[in-house]
């Protein structure tokens, strides 16, 4: 692999959930530009010869801009190196990959997308819950509480209904505001929901609650998401345990 960029999804954090292709590409890279929340266990799988660049953006701290990230990707690739842009979950879901793809196309730099397991799928598997049960759900909606500063937030009312499984990525620290928006969108106060942090990793945490009582749940550390809907009623949270083997020998 020479002078090429790979947009790679790292999955929800557990290294066992990396795809085989993602691991192969990572181990063949010259440079890996990764998010701040990329699992250290995944980075530990890379050879010591790989140059790691943390381009994570965190709330409340001075962050690298998306334009600067684009420039770094192009600079490394145009110097003849194989570059991996590593994102948590799937790089095409709430990951601003579109802007990176546009920059690569404009510069005529060869690139490839390697999908990963998005956080919602990892979280549902960790709590042993389906996301759609055709007996009482017919829609699956992914939405984020974060949005571009110059754009309005999503209209939750147009997305939500009793037969919807609603997955909120990056819910932030103001659960009271989330409750307000969920109820104004039409979710009943007794609709079950689960707050999930670090799903699939050893430090994962879950809190089962309802929409009305969500504001009483301790704010979970990032990466976190909320699963709202009837499917949450049947999740076996208390039974979910992880004891994953190491990938060190792969």
Helix axes 97-106, 66-78, angle to 10 degrees: 40
**For residues 106, 107, 112 and 113, what is the CA-based torsion angle, rounded to 10 degrees?**
-50
| Among the listed residues 104, 83, 98, 74, the one whose alpha carbon sits nearest the alpha carbon of residue 34 | 83
d(CA 222, CA 37): 8
Query: Which residue in 4, 163, 170, 183 is the catalytic one?
Result: 170
Query: Which residue in 1, 21, 57, 163 is the catalytic one?
Result: 57
How crowded is the C-beta side of 246, counted as CA atoms within 13 Å? 7
Beta strand pairing status for 83-87 and 31-34? Answer: parallel
DSSP 126-158: HTT--S--TTT--EEEEEES---TTSPPP-HHH
Q: List, in sequence order, the alpha helices (H) in 63-197.
A: 66-78, 97-106, 119-126, 156-159, 175-185
Torsions phi, psi for 68 (to 5 deg): -70, -40
* 57 labelled catalytic: yes
Q: How many CB atoms are closer than 10 A to CB 88? A: 26
Report the DSSP beta bridge partners of residue 89.
Answer: 11
Query: Which residue in 35, 87, 191, 201 is the catalytic one?
Result: 35
Torsions phi, psi for 75 (to 5 deg): -60, -45
* 170 labelled catalytic: yes
Secondary structure class of 234 (helix, strand, coil): helix
* Residues annotated as part of the active site: 35, 57, 170
């Amino acid at each position: 692999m020479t002078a090429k960029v790979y947009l790679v999804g790292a999955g929800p954090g557990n290294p066992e959930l990396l795809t085989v292709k993602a691991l192969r590409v990572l181990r063949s890279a010259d440079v890996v530009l990764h998010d701040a929340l990329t699992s250290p266990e995944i980075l530990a799988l890379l050879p010591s010869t790989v140059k790691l660049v943390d381009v994570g953006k965190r709330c409340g701290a001075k962050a690298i801009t998306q334009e600067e990230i684009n420039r770094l990707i192009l600079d490394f690739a145009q110097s003849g190196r194989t570059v991996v842009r590593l994102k948590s979950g799937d790089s095409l879901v709430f990951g601003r990959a579109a802007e990176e793809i546009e920059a690569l196309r404009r510069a005529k730099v060869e690139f490839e997308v390697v999908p990963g397991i998005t956080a919602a799928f990892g979280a549902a598997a960790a709590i042993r819950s389906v996301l759609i049960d055709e007996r009482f759900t017919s829609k699956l909606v992914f939405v984020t509480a974060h949005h571009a500063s110059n754009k309005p937030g999503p209209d939750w009312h147009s997305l939500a209904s009793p037969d919807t499984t609603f997955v909120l990525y990056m819910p932030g620290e103001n659960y009271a505001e989330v409750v307000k928006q969920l109820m104004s969108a039409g979710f009943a106060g007794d609709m079950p929901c689960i707050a999930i942090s670090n799903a699939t990793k050893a430090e994962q945490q879950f809190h089962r609650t309802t929409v009305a009582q969500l504001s009483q749940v301790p704010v979970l550390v990032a990466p976190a998401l909320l699963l709202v809907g009837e499917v949450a009623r049947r999740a076996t949270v208390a039974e979910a345990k992880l004891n994953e083997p190491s990938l060190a020998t792969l």
